[in-house]
Amino acid sequence: MDVFLDTFRCCAHTLAYDSWVSLTPLLTKRGATFAQRVAASVNYAVGFDELTVESTDRYVEMAIELSTNREYYKSVREKIYDTVPTCNYFNSDIFFDNFLKIVSAAK
């Protein structure tokens, strides 16, 4: 898959995570509700805020840019391979440590 094009009414949740695990860029539009903002949060967590847009027009522009501008797409893919595999979002040790802190604080 070259790019994950997110939906608008209820955006990707687990599939957003899966997209980045498979090192696939995720294009999403930030919405007004929680269900419309999850994928934007995932993009932020992996360091790809530039793939979160605010309007439908910009979403279409970005989708076209990703599919027609090979140099731009190549730069996005290179950034993905350089940053996503080592970002904290996928670091299970950090997650586990934070989880233990939360559980300990709740006792």
CB atoms within 10 A of CB 42: 25
Tell if the pTM clears 0.75, that is, is over it.
yes
Which has the higher per-residue pLDDT, 92 or 107?
Answer: 92
> Given this model, what pLDDT does residue 99 score?
86
Give residues with Cβ within 8 angstroms of 83, minimum separation 6. 46, 47
Q: What are the residue ranges of helices labelled H in 1-107?
A: 14-21, 38-45, 56-68, 70-83, 92-106
